[in-house]
Structure formats: C-alpha cells, structure tokens
Amino acid sequence: MSVYYGFFDAKFEESTASYDREYDSADFTQYFGEIVGSGVCIHDNPDSMKVSVQEGSAVIAPGYLFIDGYWLKNDADYVVGLPADGVYAVLAQLDLGNRMVRIDVQPKREDASYSDALVLAFADAQGNVEDTRHDTTGCGVIDSAGSLATKIEFATQYIDTQIEGRLEQAEAEINAKAAELDAKIAEVDAQVAKLAPPAVGTIKFSASQSVETGWLKCDGSFVNEADYPELVAALGKLTPSGDKFVLLSDGEIGSAITNGVLFDGRMWMYSWSARKLFGVDVNGSAPVKEIVITCDDPYFPNLVNPLTGYPLALSIVSDQQGGYRLFLMQITAEVNMPSTSAGATQTDDAHLLFFAGDMSADTDTIVLKRPFSQIKAVETLLNTSFANTNTIPYVVSRLENGAVKYYTCTYRAPYPYGTSTGSGSDYVFLSSLQWDDDAESASLHQIVQRSAGSLQNYSFLRGTYVAYCAKNKNELVALYEQAVSSSSSTSGIRYGVQSYPDEFFYRETTSGYASTSSVTDGPTVTRMLSIVGASRMLVYADLEEKTLRWISRTENGVLEKTTIDNISLPPGVRIFRDACAYLWGKDMFLLFVGTGLIFSRTLETGSFGYLDTTSVLGQITQGGYLDYAQDEGTLYIVGQDTANRVKLAKIVLNTLYDYASDGAWLPLIASDGVPAYIKAKETEG
C-alpha cells in the first residue's frame, strides 16, 4: 500500500542534474477532481454557461465549469452553429487527445449518454432550448452556497501566480546549469577536434572574417558536385521524380506553335499550321481542347510560320470587366516610317498583323478581327520602323480612369545621329502602342529614358527583345546605354533599366562607367527576352562563348559579364526568344536551352547549375517557351522536338532548395546576424 502527498518544492540534485520530485497535469487534475468534482460553477452567476438560441445558433453565456479536474472558462458569449434540422446536445467535451476542453454540438441521443462531457442544453435552430445544467445525470452544478467557489478561486489564483513563479525559477536554474554544461561540452569538443577533425557537412557558427580553409558560408548558393563531391553527397541531390516531372502532351498539338499562355487551368498555344488554339489541361485529367480560329480580314492569311524568325505572339488578358480577350500579333516585315508629327496616322495592314477576339475556354470557335484600324502618333516622333527583330508583340491590359486600355510594344525608332559630328551611330528609342476596346485608332507613344537630356547620348540596347510581359509584372522593361565622350573626365559606357509605364524596375544611371564598348549584334549573340529579378536583370546569354550579361537594379549601372564555367552543356543547346523566367519567391533565374535548364540565384561566375530534361522532353529544337506559375510552384516547358512533335511538360517545385543533377544547394543559416559555415572539403594536416 502506497502513500501519496503534495505539493512541495522540488530540490535540484547536482549529482543527477535533475529535480527530486516532479508534478504533472494528472496530479493537479486528480487534486481538483477530488475536491471539486464535475459540473457548472454557478456561484454568483446563476446563468453560468446557460444556453440560448439566436438566429439559428447556440449562444453559451459566460461562466466556469469543471470536468474530472480539468476546467474551462468562458468570458464572453460563445456562438456555435446549429444544423437546420433536428435536436442537438450543446456540450463541453473533454478531449485528452488534443489536450483541450471544447464546446461542441452533437445530435441528441436516445440514451442521453455522452462520455467525458457536460450537456449544457438540448436545442434546435428554431429556438427551442431545454436547460440541462442542473440535471446531474448529464451535467450538474457546483457549489450553490458559494464556499467551494471561493476555494476554487483561491486555487486558480495560486496556479496563476505562485506555481508559475516557481516554475520560472526552476527553468532559470535549469538554463544556468545547461549553460555550464554547454561550456564544458565545448571544451571537450575543442580537444576532440584536435584529435579528429569534423566531418564534411559539419556546420558551425563564426563571426570571424577569417575562416579556415575547406569551409563555405551557408548562404544558399549552389555548389557543383565536381568541386565538392563529398559535400554534395552529404547534402543530397534533388532530382525530379516521375510524379514531379510530367509530360502533359506529346504530339497532340499542331506544329508551328506560338508561345504558351496559362488560362483557366490549361496551357494554351496557337498552331499556325492547324489554324487552331490548343489548350492542354495542366493536371493531365482532361483531353486537349481544340478551338478553331477564324477571321474574315483579308490580311489574316498573311500570318507566317513563327518558327522562321517572326514572333507570333499569343496573349490572353482580362478585359477588366469580367471577360477575357485573345490577341494574335505579328510583324512580318520591317515597316519603315518617316518622321511622324503629332496627330499623323499610319497603317500597313499587309505586314502589321493585329487581331483580337473574345476568349472563352468553353467555345469551339473564336472569331478574330482587327482591334483598331489605324495608328495615330501622339507626339512628334523620330524616324521610326516597326520591327520583329527587336520586339515580341505581347499584349497586356490595364484599368485606367475606369476604362480598359491595352498595351503592346511593336517597334523601335532608330535616330541617325552624326550630321554635325560625323558619327554614324544610330540611337535606338522604343515606342508603345496603346488602344481602348472598340477604338478606331491606336496611339503611338515614344519612350525615352526619363532623365535622358540630350538624346544623342542614349540608346536602348540592341541584341535583346523587349515586350510587355507578365513575367516582368506586365511592364515593358529594356536596358539602355549612355555613351560618354572620350573628352569627359569619366569616359565610357554606363547602363540603366527602363520600366514602363509604372516604373516598377526603373534604375537610372548615375555612375559606374564601364570602359568596354556597347553590346551590339555579334556573330554568336542570340536575342532573348530580358528578365527582371529581385535585384538583377538578365539581359542575354551566349551559349557558344558560355557567357551572359546582367545588370544590377540596386547598384551602379555597369553591365556585368559572367562566364558559365562550372557546368558542362551538351551539344545542341540553343537560346529561344522567351524560354527564360525568374522564380519570384524562390529567387532563381532559369534559362531553358533545349536540352535542359540552366539556373542560378546570383548570375555570378561559378553559381550555375544544370538540369537535364531530355529524359522527358527529348531535344527541343524549335519554339522553346518557359513559364512559371508561382501560386502552384510549377514550371511549364513547351517546344518542338527533332521530329517536329510539340511537347509540353511540367515540373512541380515543392522544396526550398530545388532540383539539380550536378550539385546541391547550401543551407541558408545565420543566428542573430552571425553566419554559419559548413565543412566542404577535407583538408590536409
């Protein structure tokens, strides 16, 4: 037979590093269960936990109750919904599994038995209530005379003050002992480290600027397996499994495709050869949707195969009124225009092919027509030309002054400067084409860098595509250069970022001149859409030279050149017009090159990884396109393979450090500003 007693202060035993007695919740609930019992406390509050019905819901009044030593306090009206039909028990339920006492409603039972519960009332949504608090078979009340309630109040106050204070004191003593023990462990670790160096993958914190050889800062950067094989093995490589890298379509779509557009749960592409719009279910659970595209405009047949070098841009945008508009835009030849004065009009229906129609995923046919009949200059323009070599005519929509306005960038304006200086340079400016629904004409607006001053000093960079693009948050983003005369104290080139119309990414050149000449079309430069990231903009890549260029959006305007020297690229890699993306939320640039994905977080030399995609897509040789759905954390890759079969695949990115076939990501760790370092290589000695 055993004797139990309590509660007394615990004493810390240094020999065992523990306390000689401990109490848990069972000790307290047993104590209160013996002296209180179970029921609703009605002392000084006869309406404690009383149930009423208001607007079809049960309302439980403020009060206290106990169940087997556990307690619940309700300090305001508590509302629980009642089903529309039937009578329900409104009860307080002891839920030991979830460590709580909860108020709930359950259907009324014939035997009226509810384990570990106090039935406060039976009620229905029509307002009928049977108060059962005083029924000792299902609930019962405590201490109608008040003496026990006083004891309960004293006991709860003791728990809130005295015991909590004692526990805090005990915790402080434990922490002090733990600190002493940690110091002793550190001393032992230091001695052990002298005898046996830490293994690769070991992490330590250090505020020192001088870290021993073989350790890398835990800054989330990518490490190549060839350079750090043991570390990559320790971190583990993530590669897409069969359920993460899925082929959604293989040959069901007509050839000669446009870019893709995610809309209504499908990836949509227009096939120039089939004259159809194809929509592939991104979940792979529905057949490919085909919509016939028709147009009575006599110049609609002038659309040409986009894979021959003429971007045919597909856009599906909101009309800001609850509907959606589909646009097909293409420039089939360079259209030169003389200097244009304000108010002048211009059109070339044979080569400037702009078509639009109402978009619905449920229809079988969409009829297109021209969204406007002429182009009207807003201000006096320089010599201009519509050109497919500089722009991708994507369309975006904006709501301005209560009306929807559509934007596209479709031409450049070369300004021949040199009459007075003898220079033969052309300074390139961009223009924006804008129109309203049912407008007769589109307005042409010239875009000049905001603080250009003398126009002769500025030019938008050749060698890149520009477009209003959802990937760049519907902004038209372009890199511009400023040439400084050699007679200047600081001569050379500096660069900035133009962002129109909201200037989300605008970066003005203020300093940071580069002595290198400006970037022009070289023999290996392949045009691609510039992509903006959180702090940098990727301008273009040259796979033959294995280089790319980028500009910082937060530092001075120098165009940086990076060598992609830490990955091996297979034969057949190539650049597509719009097969790059920045993964907002994951801080990563991706560039699809036909055989795989080149990726980097910083765009700096040594920071690149490569993921081969040929096992699923084969080799994509034409029409490559890459898109990213941030809400889903999913990449979509589109293109035609060597057999001219159109393929669409998706990769689900569901981890912080994503897929790499030739390396791994370092963890991103710091504590109170002190960085962590990871053992990356075994060192000699």
Q: In which band, very low, low, confident or very high, does the pLDDT at 494 lie, cut at 50, 70 and 90?
A: confident
* CA-based nearest residue to 117, from 135, 97, 151, 93: 93
Alpha-carbon gap, residue 132 to 122, rounded angstroms? 7
Q: Do residues 328 and 392 lie in contact, with contact meaning Cβ atoms separated by under 8 Å?
A: no
Structure confidence at residue 506 (pLDDT): 85
Mean pLDDT of 611-635: 91
Q: In which band, very low, low, confident or very high, does the pLDDT at 509 lie, cut at 50, 70 and 90?
A: low
Structure confidence at residue 208 (pLDDT): 73
SS3 161: helix
Least confident segment among 320-324, 331-335, 516-520? 516-520
Radius of gyration of the chain (CA): 36
pLDDT for 39-90, tens place per residue? 999 878 889 999 999 988 999 999 989 998 888 999 999 999 999 899 999 9
* pLDDT at position 194 over 60: no
DSSP string, 541-573: EETTTTEEEEEESSS---EEEEE--SS---TT-
Alpha-carbon gap, residue 395 to 397, rounded angstroms? 7
Six-digit token pair at 204?
């330590």
Question: Whole-number mean pLDDT of the chain?
Answer: 81
Question: Residues with Cβ < 8 Å from 644, sequence gap 6 or more?
Answer: 255, 622
Six-digit token pair at 77?
């009206």
pLDDT for 308-329, tens place per residue? 888 899 999 998 778 999 999 9
Alpha-carbon gap, residue 599 to 626, rounded angstroms? 13
Q: In which band, very low, low, confident or very high, does the pLDDT at 231 lie, cut at 50, 70 and 90?
A: confident
pLDDT for 568-620, tens place per residue? 888 889 999 999 999 987 888 999 999 999 988 888 887 888 888 998 999 99
* CA-based nearest residue to 89, from 111, 66, 102, 107: 107
CA angle 498, 383, 432 (to 5 degrees): 40
* pLDDT at position 556 over 70: no
Q: Give counts: helices (H), strands (E), the chain.
A: 5, 51
Q: In which band, very low, low, confident or very high, does the pLDDT at 554 lie, cut at 50, 70 and 90?
A: confident
Report pTM.
0.63
Residue carrying structure tokens 């104590």: 31
Domain boundaries, the chain: 36-144, 256-447
CA dihedral 223→226→228→229, nearest 10 degrees, is: 120
Mean pLDDT of 283-299: 95
The H-assigned helical ranges of 313-366 are none
Please give the DSSP secondary-structure letter assigned to residue 162: I
Structure confidence at residue 243 (pLDDT): 59
Alpha-carbon gap, residue 583 to 630, rounded angstroms? 7
DSSP string, 230-286: HHHHHH------TTTEEEEEES-S-SSB---EEETTEEEEEETTTTEEEEEETTS-S
Percent of the chain with pLDDT over 90: 34
The torsion angles phi and psi of 155, rounded to 5 degrees, stand at: -65, -45
* pLDDT at position 486 over 80: no
Instruction: State the CB neighbour count (10 A cutoff) for residue 618.
Output: 18
**How many whole angstroms from its chain centre is CA 140?**
55
Alpha-carbon gap, residue 386 to 442, rounded angstroms? 14
Q: Do residues 232 and 654 lie in contact, with contact meaning Cβ atoms separated by under 8 Å?
A: no
* CA-based nearest residue to 222, from 654, 605, 601: 601
**Size (the chain), residues:** 685
Q: In which band, very low, low, confident or very high, does the pLDDT at 286 lie, cut at 50, 70 and 90?
A: very high
Six-digit token pair at 145?
């005379």
Least confident segment among 119-133, 171-185, 588-602? 171-185
Q: Which amino acid is at 62?
A: P
Residue 660 to residues 247, 518, 568, 618: CA-CA distances in angstroms? 19, 34, 13, 18
Structure confidence at residue 418 (pLDDT): 39
